[in-house]
Each structure stands twice: as C-alpha cells, then as structure tokens.
Amino acid sequence: MRKFRLLCALLLLVVVAAPLFAAGADSGYKVTKRIAIGGDGGWDYLTFDQASRRLFIARANRVMVVDVDGGKLLGEIPGTNGVHGVAIAAKAARAVASNGKDNSVLIFDLKTLAAVGTVKTGGKPDAILFEPLTGLVATSDGASNDVTLVDVEKAAAVGTIALPGRPETGVSDGKGKIFVNLEDKGAIAVIDILARKVVATWPLAGCEEPTGLAYDAANRRLFSGCHNSTLVVVDADSGKNVQKLTIGAGVDAVTFDAGKKLVFTSNGEGNVSVVRQESADKYSSYENVPTAPKAKTIALDAEKHRLYTVTNIADASGKPTFHLLVIEQ
C-alpha cells in the first residue's frame, strides 16, 4: 500500500509539473557574443549563407558582409539605396539585394561581391527570396502589391504577380509554391510559381500585421509572426490555422531550426521568443531570451544551431554602436 501511495504521489507530481516544462521552461539559449561592427544607418533583414558562413546585413544604403566565425566585417556592397534584404542564388554564384528606395534589385557576385547588374522591380521591393524550383528570385513589392520575378543569370525581370494586399516576408516550399504574408490583410497569399498567379488567400485568425514567416518542410507548417505579439501556425496544404501562441512585442522576423524543432521570433522589444514543436500540430512556449532593444531581425545558422541578430548598443560613453549578437545554447 505504501508503495502504491508513493507511486500515486509521483504520478501527481509529474502531472502538476508537466505544464511548467511545457510553458515558460528554460530553453538554454542566451547571447554568448556581442561583436561591435560599427557604421551608421538603420537595418532590416539578415541573410546567412551557410556555404560561405557569411552574414549579409541590409543596412540602409549598403549591404554589410560579415564573417560570423571570425567576427569581422569582410566588406560592404554599395549602390543599394533603401536595401531591405538579400537572396542567395548559390548555383549561379550570385546574390540579389532589394533596393526599396530605387524600385530595383542589385545583383552581385557571391565570391567577389562585385555588382553584376541592376533590374527594375515593382514599387518598394522589401522582402526577397530565392525560389529553387525555377531558380528565380522573387521580391515582395510593398508599394505596388505585387511580386517581381527576376532571372539572376540573365539579370532581367521575367514576370510580375499581382497580390491581394501588401506583401511582407515570403517563403518557398521548393515544390512550386510561394507563401507571402499580407501585412494589411492579416493573411497569407499562396502563389503557384509555374502558373504565376495567386491560387489562395488564407486568413490568419487573431493576427495583426503579419511580418516574419518561416517554413517547416518536413511537416509542411508555416509560422507567421504578427505585430500583436502572436505567432500563428498554419497548415501549408490546407491553410488551416493549427495553433496560436503568444510571443514578444515588435516581431519582425521568424526562423525555424528543423534540427532542434524550435521556432524563433526576433522581437523589437529586446528578446527572442522560443517555441518548441512537440508535433506537427502541437507547440509550446519556452521563454523570451533577452537580447537588446530594436534587435528585431534574425538569421539561423542551421549547422551550428546559432542565431544572429543586430542592433545598436551604447558603449561606456553612451554612444550607440552597431553590434552583431550571437545567440546559442
């Protein structure tokens, strides 16, 4: 009987403690390095090139290229007025930067960082992505509500796809579909890249101004970060809203580490929210990992399971200095 009562007590402890580990548990992530890079101007998307282990930082009027392992600035790519992001076209050994103030993209050589050509796009190209099935780059044109398709090797625009709202971050499933957050609609537009048209628009319940978007290829799930401190998990086949979670305020970017089965959102209030994928349809929150105010964007190093973000941090004299922050377990 005593053993039975002890067993019951242990079972009760497990039941009571389980929610504590499912929500608010310590993920082990923290900022391990703060690397001063310097330079003036605002910033937007970060793009990590896994092959070269270089981080591309969209920085107002140029792209900064950083060796993340050496912690040093390798160079800067000028001629990118109002740059928002960079897409890597590895097979072509080129990359493309979206120049929001010039309504264009700049194509540059990945090895030398030298400019290859400039291509006109729709109004105010913002987020940008590489679509592997076609080998095209797609820009989210926020002022004209469309997507411009760019042939990187020909350095030419080859198509435009109208959207039913203002586009923000987009992701590709690698099989012919592009998913794009519609910031003003609280929805996701689904593009058939071969048909070159929108084939569906999926509402995001309880989501205001979706910005960051990430994709889990194995389970075909989308993770949309919304400005009302909300993360919405979406079935990439049906558009069903699978789950809604609370995240930090001021989210701008979302990434998914398939190896760790973790979703990360970078929040401008000064933290990264960590969400654990328990199954395709079940998610639980860890904690908000402190970073620094305005560290709103993020990039994943999938090989080393590291995260990178950037922001200004005041030095001893109070002068703000641009820093790269490394986040890991």
Query: Residue 13: is its pLDDT beyond 90?
Result: no
Q: Which of 16-25, 54-63, 293-302 shows the lowest mean pLDDT across its residues?
A: 16-25
Q: Label residue 62 by pLDDT band (50, 70, 90).
A: very high
Token pair recorded at residue 285: 């929150």
Average predicted confidence (pLDDT) for the chain: 93
pLDDT given at position 224: 98
What CA–CA distance (Å, rounded) separates 316 from 329?
28
DSSP-derived secondary structure letter, 201 = E
Q: Label residue 294 by pLDDT band (50, 70, 90).
A: very high
What CA–CA distance (Å, rounded) separates 139 from 141?
6
Residue 20: alpha-carbon gap to chain centroid: 28
Q: Label residue 24 by pLDDT band (50, 70, 90).
A: low
* DSSP calls for 284-329: EEEEEEE--TT----EEETTTTEEEEEEEEE-TTS-EEEEEEEEE-
Query: Residue 52: is its pLDDT beyond 90?
Result: yes
pLDDT given at position 317: 85
Domains and CATH numbers, the chain: 25-42+205-329 (2.130.10.10), 44-203 (2.130.10.10)
Q: Label residue 170 by pLDDT band (50, 70, 90).
A: very high
What CA–CA distance (Å, rounded) separates 305 from 223?
18
- The burial of 207, by beta-carbon neighbours within 10 Å (0-12 exposed, 13-18 middle, 19 or more buried), is given as buried
